[in-house]
């Protein structure tokens, strides 16, 4: 009888240990499944976030391209305006150079045609102006 009781007790303890081991395995399996479910939910969230980020990036890229196109148009217009201004400045510089050129080419060692004619007129008595300051009648 005691032996049967001990055998039953041993069998019951063995069943309790097996039950605890199964409970631990089951708990580990449940925890793993919960992680998988969480990670699946996270993956779905990541997919959704990824799609949203791609949409935002595409929208931002479109806005940047629009701004770039607007700036390009503005830059083209500015370039045309600056080219016109540069051509006007170049014409002005060429005009000034044409006016200043003879002054730059002036050589004080050589008398200019105007001063040479004035000096010749002073030396020549027939070419001197009359005392009243009026031109003399031709001879």
pLDDT digits (tens, 9 = 90+) for 46-72: 778 888 888 988 888 898 888 888 888
Tell me the mean pLDDT in the region 6-27. Answer: 89
Question: CA angle 36-39-40, nearest 5°?
Answer: 85
The per-residue pLDDT for range 97-116, each reduced to its tens digit, is 888 777 666 666 776 666 66
Q: Which domain holds residue 57?
A: 2-108
Is residue 47 assigned to a domain?
yes
Is residue 10 assigned to a domain?
yes
Count structural domains, the chain.
1
Question: What pLDDT score was predicted for residue 138?
Answer: 53
Is residue 85 assigned to a domain?
yes
pLDDT at 131 over 60: no
- Please give the structure tokens belonging to residue 72: 């390009």
Is residue 130 assigned to a domain?
no
Dmax over Cα atoms in the chain, in whole Å?
A: 178
Is residue 138 assigned to a domain?
no
State if pTM tops 0.75. Answer: no
Is residue 55 assigned to a domain?
yes
């Amino acid at each position: 009888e005691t032996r049967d009781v001990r055998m039953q007790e041993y069998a019951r303890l063995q069943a309790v240990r097996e039950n605890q081991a199964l409970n631990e395995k089951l708990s580990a399996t449940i925890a793993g499944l919960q992680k998988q479910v969480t990670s699946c939910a996270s993956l779905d969230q990541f997919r959704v976030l990824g799609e949203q980020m791609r949409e935002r990036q595409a929208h931002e890229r479109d806005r940047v391209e629009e701004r770039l196109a607007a700036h390009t148009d503005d830059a083209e217009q500015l370039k045309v305006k600056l080219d016109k201004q540069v051509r006007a400045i170049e014409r002005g510089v060429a005009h000034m150079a044409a006016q200043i050129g003879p002054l730059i080419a002036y050589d004080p060692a050589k008398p200019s045609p105007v001063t040479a004619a004035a000096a010749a007129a002073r030396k020549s008595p027939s070419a001197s102006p009359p005392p009243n300051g009026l031109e003399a009648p031709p001879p």
